[in-house]
C-alpha cells in the first residue's frame, strides 16, 4: 500500500506491506534507528513516538495507519543542532544510563509537558508508567523532566539532589 507521511518535517511517500509496523517502517525503511524495540507486547515504551502530537507505541501501530500523519521521533526533537529541553534535561540530570529506553522516555516526557507544563512528581511518575527503564530507578528521569519543565517555563531548573551530597 502507498502511504504518505511526514516524519520530523520531511515528507515521505512509500509502498509498505499492510502488516508493517510503524516502528519497523521508521527503523528499516527510513533508517531512523533512534526508536527502539524492547518487547513484543506493547509494554516497555522504548518505541514511543509522537503521531500528530500524541504519544504512540509504534510497535503496535501499523505504518498504514500513519498515512497522512505528522510523526516526530527522537531524531526530530533537536532544532538547528540545539537539544530540546527534554533532551537537555536527560543529559543534565543523568536521566539515562544504557540509553535504550531513553528515546521512548524522552518522547513520552515531551508529550507530558505539552499537556501539563508544571507536573508534580506524582504526575511525572504516573505519566511515565508506560515506559520501563531497568537502569536508572527513575529517580533521575523525574529530575530530568522537572529540569525540562522549568526550562520550558523559562525558569531556572532546580539543582539535582546528588549535586549537594558531599560526604
What does the binding site for another protein look like in residue numbers (CB under 8 A)?
19, 27, 32-41, 43-44, 46, 73-75, 77-78, 83, 87-88, 90-92, 94, 96-103, 106, 121, 124-126, 128-142, 160-163, 165, 167
Rank residues 113 and 144 by Cβ distance to ligand FES and give the closer one: 144
Look at residues 57, 159, 138, 55 and name the one whose alpha carbon lies nearest to residue 96. Answer: 138
Dihedral angle sign, alpha carbons of residues 58, 60, 66, 67? positive
The C-alpha atoms of residue 109 and residue 107 are separated, in whole angstroms, by 5
Rank residues 68 and 120 by Cβ distance to another protein and give the closer one: 120
Distance in Å, CB of 38 to ligand FES, minimum? 4
Residues in the chain: 167
Distance in Å, CB of 104 to ligand FES, minimum? 8
Residue 94, Cβ density class (10 Å: 0-12 exposed, 13-18 middle, ≥19 buried) = middle
Q: What phi, psi does 56 have (nearest 5°)?
A: -135, 140
Place of cell 500528530: 52
Binding segment (CB under 6 A) for ligand FES, from list 7-15, 97-105, 106-114, 151-159:
97-105
Distance in Å, CB of 31 to ligand FES, minimum? 18
Q: What's the first-to-final CA gap in the chain, in angstroms?
A: 62
Rank residues 78 and 98 by Cβ distance to ligand FES and give the closer one: 98
Distance in Å, CB of 82 to another protein, minimum? 11
Size of the site for ligand FES (CB under 6 A): 22
* Footprint on residues 49-68 left by ligand FES (CB under 6 A): 57, 59
The C-alpha atoms of residue 150 and residue 89 are separated, in whole angstroms, by 10
Amino acid at each position: 500500500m502507498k502511504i504518505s507521511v511526514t516524519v520530523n518535517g520531511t515528507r515521505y511517500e512509500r509502498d509498505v506491506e499492510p502488516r508493517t509496523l510503524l516502528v519497523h517502517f521508521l527503523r528499516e525503511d527510513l533508517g531512523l534507528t533512534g526508536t527502539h524495540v524492547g518487547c513484543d507486547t506493547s509494554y516497555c515504551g522504548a518505541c514511543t513516538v509522537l503521531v500528530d502530537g500524541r504519544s504512540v507505541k509504534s510497535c503496535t501501530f501499523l505504518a498504514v495507519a500513519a498515512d497522512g500523519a505528522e510523526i516526530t521521533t527522537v531524531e526530530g526533537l533537536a532544532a538547528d543542532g540545539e537539544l530540546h529541553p527534554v533532551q537537555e534535561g536527560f543529559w543534565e540530570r543523568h536521566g539515562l544510563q544504557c540509553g535504550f529506553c531513553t528515546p521512548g522516555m524522552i518522547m513520552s516526557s515531551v508529550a507530558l509537558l505539552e499537556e501539563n507544563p508544571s507536573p508534580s512528581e506524582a504526575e511525572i511518575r504516573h505519566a511515565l508508567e508506560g515506559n520501563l527503564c531497568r537502569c536508572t530507578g527513575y529517580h533521575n528521569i523525574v529530575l530530568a523532566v522537572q529540569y525540562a519543565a522549568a526550562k520550558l517555563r523559562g525558569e531556572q531548573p532546580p539543582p539535582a539532589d546528588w549535586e549537594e551530597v558531599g560526604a
